[in-house]
Chain A
Amino acid sequence: MTRLSETGLVVIGLIVTTALIRASGPIAIGGRRLPDRATAVISMLAPALLAALVMAETFRGEGSDLTLDERALGVAGSAAVILLRGPVLPALAVAMGLTAGARAL
């Protein structure tokens, strides 16, 4: 198989699987009321997933290693801005600036 057709397969595979995965929840359950137990868990999904995403994206290195690098500094800096009630865009700018600046040093 040539590299080109492998790439084509990946692109198509990605497009199709993404659409199916995104549709699965709403199609299977749409509009129906879930039992209270399910709702209690589901209302906590966002904090769980967001926290895990922050950790994974901040500390993931090459392959699967955990890496402490300049990203952590940038993320910490943006967190400080948010905690001081600053708006999101400046916080993101701080994240980029601190990370890039620390790498430049």
Chain B
Amino acid sequence: MRAGARAGVPFALAAGLLAVSFGVLAEPVMGGGGALAMSAFAFAGSAQFGATAVLASGGSAVAAVVAAVLLNARYVPMGIALAPSVRGPALLRAAYGQAMIDASWAMASRGGGRFDPDFMVGATLPSYPCWVGGTAIGVFAGDLIGDPAALGLDALFPAFFLALLLGGELRSGRMAWAVAGLGAAIGLALTPVAPPGVPVIAASAAALLGLARLDPRQARDRG
């Protein structure tokens, strides 16, 4: 878990900066208390931004929650991927699930469908105080900070996810490159036509290419 914590620090710092921009954007929409409650108890970046955007544009509470669910939907396949590696009573398994964030999940992957759940928890730990603390800074110092986009904060998350992709996932071979390419294409193609969150979860379909790597004899004997 300590190894995970060390690995999680760079993302935690990036998340902290992003949280500041969330605090700045969310405070006028839902008040500092709402923004802090979201960050402290939901701890879900894209869902928080999505719900805030819906509220800010005058959308209903239902629309905001639906947007959040769509943006969180990728945690379902992520949780399914993680599940075989998580043992113990149901409540403990649910607790491990709460520690899932994109970066920690990706970094906890060990290949062949295996994950290191304790590493994942460790990797998430530094992010939590950075996320809540960053939100607080954004809420209370928003006027000083101005426009988060001017600081280039919106480039942070895609840059980090790309770093994870290039640094880790794509090293596992040509199949990973093909899947990433297809996933990127699906994500890009669906962004203009589908609600936020849907393009990303739809890109999960690209993972089906993995079936092409199966040894047919293995699949027959054990599938």
Contacts and interface: CB of A to CB of B under 8 A. Distances in A.
Interface stretch (B125-133, B137-145, B161-169): B161-169
A26 B38 contact: no
Residue with the highest number of chain A CB atoms closer than 10 Å, among B10, B42, B73, B213: B42
Interface string A49-69: 111111111111000111000
Contacts of A34: 84, 113
Contacts of A50: 102, 106, 161-162, 164-165, 169, 180, 183
B150 A100 contact: yes
Nearest to B35: A11
A34 to B, nearest CB: 5
Contacts of B61: 1, 6-7, 9-10, 13
B156 A41 contact: no
Contacts of A32: 83-84
Interface in B84-126: 84, 86-88, 90, 93-94, 96-98, 100, 102, 105-106, 109, 111-113
B66 to A, nearest CB: 9
Given A82-B167, A96-B156, A22 B150 contact: no
Interface of A: 1, 4, 6-11, 13-15, 17-19, 21-60, 64-66, 70-71, 74-75, 78-79, 82-83, 87-89, 91-92, 94-101, 103-104
Interface of B: 10-11, 13-14, 17, 29-31, 34, 37-38, 41-44, 47-48, 51, 55, 60-61, 64-65, 68-69, 72-84, 86-88, 90, 93-94, 96-98, 100, 102, 105-106, 109, 111-113, 149-167, 169-170, 175-177, 179-184, 186-188, 191-196, 199-200, 202-211, 213-214, 218-219, 222-223
